[in-house]
Structures are given as C-alpha cells and as structure tokens.
C-alpha cells in the first residue's frame, strides 16, 4: 500500500445512484400488479466515490449536503443488489430473476444455485454483484482500492439497506470467460488471466477469497457478528416481523384488520 501521506484525501464521500425506473401505480390497483419480485428484488446501482477536502472535515453540513460538482472523483463502483430474502418468500430462486442481458449476473446466479453447502451458495439473505470497480488513474496505487473494498460491505448496507447478511461477489478473470461459463456454470476457468491483476491483489488484501477455481472472488459480511448475542436475536426478530408485516400488507387482503399482538412492544425498539 502506498504511503498514506502521499494521498490527497483521507476522507471519502459516497453518492449512491440507484438505476431504477420510476414507480408508477394506480391508486385503485388492489392487486399490486405493478410490483413483481423477479424485477423488484434486484437493484442496479452506481456508487460514486469522492474525495472530501480536509477543510470540510469539521463541517458536517458541508459533507452531508456535499456539492459533488466541487468535489474530486476518486472512482466508481457499478453493481447489482439482489434481495434473496424476498425471492425466497415468493418461492423464486436466483435463476429466475431478470438478468437484463448481463452475462456476469446470470453466470453468478447459476453458480450460486449449483453450489449448495459451500462457503458461497444461494442461502444468503442479500448479494451484491460487483460488476465494475474503477479508480481514477491518478489515484491508483495509493491504497484507496483496498480500503474502499474493506468498507464496501458497510457502505452497501448503509446505502442500499442490505441487512443483515451480505455476500459480495466479483468476477476477477477476463470477461470472455463468462461467455464460456454461461453454458456450464460449474466449469473451472481455463486460465488465471485477470481483468486487472493489481486490482485482484487489492481484493485479496481486503479479505476476498476465490471460490474454488471459479474466478469468483467473494466476501461475506454479517452485521450481527460483533453485537451482543441478545441484541442480535432481538434485531433478527424485529427484522422478521417487519418483513412479515410488509407481505401481509401488500399481498394478504384476507388479513386486513388483523391486529399484531406485539404492537405494544415496538416503541421499545424504535
């Protein structure tokens, strides 16, 4: 890693741009036909990374309401957040989602579905398919790559609400390998020709692991790993209740008017 003193910025700001179409629905549409999990349980997005000047550090308003036209672009991440928990609630699997013509996403989902009982499979609540990671040339080799990747799970959780369990996956080999693997997801890559070898090293330094000889680098982040066990259990119960209430509201017309026995306890948590 380069000497930190040589870096022009020691504070970064992230601007998240979800690449979703506008939500349009009719007020009298009681069937919620405008919502479908195979389209809406995935979210393409861009994470724009900017350097924050030292003079802004003590000015929280300046940072939170940053004028990105005056900031310095460090790099950009393009990816796709997959909410697998929602897919499982509707009895869909990863191979059913709308890939929007992206070969990498299709190969990843096929790979995850075909590798049960391994370190990385289709059992996680959330996935993030990291399609591209670009650092501006003048900032390469300064150590930004590793430190951004180390913080990426929490960045994704904060920006995209990917709680509580998140697996991030990145295909490190040449893109032509994806086309070859599309017909046979379990095949090993033919060579160790990386898209970007220095970037591959950054992924390794940030704790990413290659899944066998698949070419997929991954890391798994569990938000609750450092939280007291009792608090962790409480958090999980609250999250499950939130999801259950959501699905009841949207898709169970017969449940209208049903009271939640635990309603009196919610103020204790929020």
DSSP 8-state class, residue 66: -
Residue 239 is predicted with a pLDDT of 58
Q: Is the pLDDT of residue 267 over 60?
A: no
Write down the pTM of the prediction: 0.74
Is the N-terminal amide bond of 164 cis, ω within 30° of 0?
Answer: yes
Are the C-beta atoms of residues 92 and 30 closer than 8 Å to each other?
A: no
* 185-209 pLDDT, tens digit each: 555 665 567 778 889 999 999 999 9
Predicted pLDDT of residue 188? 60
CA–CA distances in Å: residue 230 to residues 28, 72, 241 = 43, 43, 17
- The predicted-structure confidence for 59-75, as pLDDT tens digits, reads as follows 555 555 555 556 789 99
Instruction: Look up residue 64 and give its two tokens.
Output: 């939170």
Which residues face 81 on adjacent strands? Answer: 43, 128
pLDDT (mean) for 118-124? 80
pLDDT single digits (tens) 22-44: 665 566 666 666 667 777 788 89
Distance CA 16, CA 50 (A): 11
Say what the pLDDT of residue 265 is: 32
Q: Which residue has the tokens 């990843």?
A: 108
CA distance 162 to 89: 16
Q: Within a 10 A sphere around the Cβ of 113, how many other Cβ atoms? A: 15
Which residues fall within 8 angstroms of residue 60, CB to CB, at 6 or more apart?
none
- Report which of 268, 151, 127, 157 is spatially closest to residue 223, judged by C-alpha positions: 157
Question: For the chain, percent helix, then strand, then coil, each to nearest 5?
Answer: 40, 20, 40
d(CA 93, CA 90): 9
Q: What's the angle, vertex CA 199, arms to CA 193 and CA 200, rounded to 5?
A: 50
Cα separation, 128 vs 104, in Å, equals 12
Residue 254: is its pLDDT beyond 70?
A: no
Question: Which residue spans within the chain are E strands per DSSP?
Answer: 11-18, 42-52, 72-83, 126-135, 165-171, 209-210, 216-222
- DSSP letter assigned to residue 173: B
């Amino acid at each position: 890693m380069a000497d930190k003193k040589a870096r022009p910025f020691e504070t970064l700001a992230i601007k998240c741009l979800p690449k979703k179409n506008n939500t349009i629905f009719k007020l009298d549409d009681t069937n919620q036909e405008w919502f479908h999990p195979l389209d809406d349980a995935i979210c393409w997005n861009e994470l724009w990374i900017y350097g924050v000047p030292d003079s802004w550090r003590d000015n929280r308003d300046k940072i939170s309401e940053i004028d990105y036209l005056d900031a310095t672009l460090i790099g950009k991440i393009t990816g796709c957040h997959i909410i697998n928990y929602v897919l499982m609630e509707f009895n869909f699997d990863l191979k059913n989602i709308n890939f929007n013509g992206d070969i990498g996403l299709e190969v990843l989902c096929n790979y995850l579905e075909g590798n049960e009982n391994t370190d990385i499979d289709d059992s996680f609540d959330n996935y993030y398919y990291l399609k591209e990671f670009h650092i501006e040339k003048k900032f390469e080799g300064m150590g930004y790559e590793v430190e951004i990747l180390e913080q990426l799970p929490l960045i994704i959780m904060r920006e995209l609400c990917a709680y509580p369990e998140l697996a991030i996956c990145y295909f490190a080999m040449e893109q032509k390998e994806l086309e070859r693997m599309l017909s046979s997801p379990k095949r090993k890559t033919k060579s160790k020709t990386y898209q970007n070898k220095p970037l591959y090293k950054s992924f390794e330094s940030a704790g990413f692991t290659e899944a066998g000889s698949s070419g997929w680098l991954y890391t798994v982040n569990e938000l609750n790993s450092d939280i007291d066990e009792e608090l962790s259990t409480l958090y999980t119960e609250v999250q499950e209740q939130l999801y259950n209430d959501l699905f009841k509201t949207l898709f169970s017309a017969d449940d209208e008017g049903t009271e939640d026995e635990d309603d009196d306890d919610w103020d204790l948590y929020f």
